[in-house]
């Protein structure tokens, strides 16, 4: 890893994890990721902003070998993919003060072996002068832990945003190029940030008055056009959805699949977009991305062992955790002799403020009356979207 200059005395240190394919043992990383640190040299002091995941220890510490002194280590966030090497940096540079938000102190001392004497707490809006380089710390809680903050370098108009505006994309590029990073950023938003959309809107407001020339996140390349990603965040956290239905489903002997096929066609005929996901083979990130805009989710599941198929229950649990701006939910599927599928799935969606559209459960193979019920469900989706002003 080499230090890449991105401004006067400002350097980018991305640790590129080309081959990582899973984060938090849950989130697919189809394109790997990076853990970004930054180095800022003032005329009097030097600051390192964040570190990297523990697995990058050797290359990260090696990239700092020419750096003789670090006065401040700014830790924007306690999660170990950025904080994992803080103890190593503090050990190598005994003069370094660890600069954190007030909540960050609590979080970091809980998660890492750090001497409290080395910690310097900065308040929201406080500045730190490195000598011609002024760091302004801005508390931006819940992007995506309670302690998260960002740093604004006043002289260069660079916002070091940590996970905020990040994207999981292993690349040798320093700056965002082309349109694919926006897809990766949407995936990142859906998986990491979406549960905190209301507070993210407040954080967007908080940084609105800053003149920002670069957004330097802790994952992926740097945004040379900050408005591009900030505008997307405004859209993704906004209130209006698209005229779209997500249908995650699982089928054992094709009865549920036939119902999903029929419902998909019925919705498309009515001008409603459909995104389908066959759960046993689905990239969870694609479902999360669909949830950013879809106001309606219809889960397809057979009844098995008196309840929903475990894949459907897992999907419901995940949707509930991600807290998307869904407005309507329903369920379709086949059953053999009974069960508590509807009650079970409803019970898993307690975080969501949604209206339940009449589920359609067919006994065994779906018949004419079931298809008519699916037509009524499609009508109901269309009407609900109209009522919400989505179409």
Please report, as ranges, the residues that interact with ligand FEO according to CB under 6 A: 77, 79, 81-82, 144, 163, 218-219
Question: Are the CB atoms for 75 and 82 separated by under 8 Å?
Answer: yes
In this structure, the dihedral spanned by the alpha carbons of residues 170, 172, 174 and 176, taken in order and rounded to 10 degrees, is: -60
Please give the Cα distance from 270 to 390 (Å, whole number).
Answer: 14
Please give the Cα distance from 13 to 9 (Å, whole number).
Answer: 13
Task: Kindly state the smallest distance separating residue 203's Cβ from ligand FEO, in Å.
Answer: 15
Task: Kindly state the smallest distance separating residue 82's Cβ from ligand FEO, in Å.
Answer: 6
Q: Bridge partners of 247?
A: 276
- Closer CB to ligand FEO, 79 or 275, in the complex: 79
| Lookup: tokens for 341 | 């599928």
- Closer CB to ligand FEO, 163 or 293, in the complex: 163
Task: Kindly state the smallest distance separating residue 256's Cβ from ligand FEO, in Å.
Answer: 37
- Closer CB to ligand FEO, 76 or 385, in the complex: 76
Residue nearest to ligand FEO according to CB distances in the complex: 79
Please give the Cα distance from 103 to 141 (Å, whole number).
Answer: 9
Pairing of strands 273-278, 4-7: unpaired
Cis peptide before 100 (omega within 30 of 0): no
- Closer CB to ligand FEO, 252 or 318, in the complex: 318
- Closer CB to ligand FEO, 41 or 53, in the complex: 53
Task: Kindly state the smallest distance separating residue 301's Cβ from ligand FEO, in Å.
Answer: 32
Instruction: List CB contacts of 149: < 8 A, sequence separation 6 or more.
Output: 76, 77, 101, 104, 124, 137, 138, 139, 140, 162
Please give the Cα distance from 217 to 165 (Å, whole number).
Answer: 6
Task: Kindly state the smallest distance separating residue 297's Cβ from ligand FEO, in Å.
Answer: 26
Question: Are the CB atoms for 93 and 70 separated by under 8 Å?
Answer: yes
Task: Kindly state the smallest distance separating residue 14's Cβ from ligand FEO, in Å.
Answer: 13
- Closer CB to ligand FEO, 192 or 329, in the complex: 192
- Longest CA–CA span in the chain (Å) reads 79
Q: Bridge partners of 320?
A: none
Task: Kindly state the smallest distance separating residue 289's Cβ from ligand FEO, in Å.
Answer: 18
- Closer CB to ligand FEO, 80 or 273, in the complex: 80
| Lookup: tokens for 21 | 């394919």
């Amino acid at each position: 890893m080499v230090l890449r200059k991105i401004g006067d005395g400002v350097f980018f240190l991305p640790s590129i994890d080309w081959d990582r394919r899973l984060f938090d043992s849950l989130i697919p990383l189809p394109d790997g990721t990076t853990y970004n640190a930054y180095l800022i040299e003032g005329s009097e002091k030097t600051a390192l902003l964040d570190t990297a995941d523990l697995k990058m220890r050797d290359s990260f510490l090696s990239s700092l070998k020419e750096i003789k002194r670090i006065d401040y280590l700014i830790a924007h966030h306690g999660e170990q993919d950025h904080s994992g090497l803080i103890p190593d940096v503090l050990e190598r540079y005994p003069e370094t003060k660890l600069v954190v938000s007030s909540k960050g102190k609590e979080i970091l001392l809980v998660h890492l072996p750090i001497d409290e004497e080395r910690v310097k707490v900065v308040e929201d809006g406080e500045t730190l002068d490195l000598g011609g380089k002024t760091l302004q710390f801005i508390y931006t809680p819940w992007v995506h832990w309670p302690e998260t903050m960002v740093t604004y370098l006043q002289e260069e108009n660079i916002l070091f945003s940590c996970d905020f505006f990040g994207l999981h994309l292993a690349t040798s590029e320093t700056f965002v190029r082309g349109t694919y990073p926006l897809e990766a950023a949407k995936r990142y938003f859906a998986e990491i940030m979406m549960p905190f959309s209301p507070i993210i809107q407040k954080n967007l407001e908080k940084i609105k008055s800053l003149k920002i020339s670069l957004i330097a996140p802790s994952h992926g390349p740097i945004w040379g056009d900050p408005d591009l990603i900030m505008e997307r965040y405004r859209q993704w956290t906004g209130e209006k959805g698209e005229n779209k239905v997500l249908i995650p489903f699982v089928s054992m002997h094709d009865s549920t699949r036939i119902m999903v096929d029929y419902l998909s066609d019925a919705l498309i005929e009515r001008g409603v977009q459909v995104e389908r996901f066959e759960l046993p083979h689905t990239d969870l990130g694609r479902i999360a991305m669909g949830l950013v805009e879809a106001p309606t989710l219809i889960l397809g599941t057979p009844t098995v062992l008196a309840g929903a198929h475990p894949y459907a229950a897992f999907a419901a649990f995940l949707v509930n955790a991600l807290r998307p701006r869904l407005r309507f939910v329903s369920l379709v599927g086949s059953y053999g002799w009974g069960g508590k599928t509807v009650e079970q799935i409803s019970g898993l969606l307690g975080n969501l403020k949604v209206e339940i559209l009449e589920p359609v459960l067919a006994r065994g193979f779906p018949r004419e009356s079931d298809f008519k019920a699916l037509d009524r469900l499609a009508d109901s989706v269309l009407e609900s979207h109209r009522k919400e002003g989505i179409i």
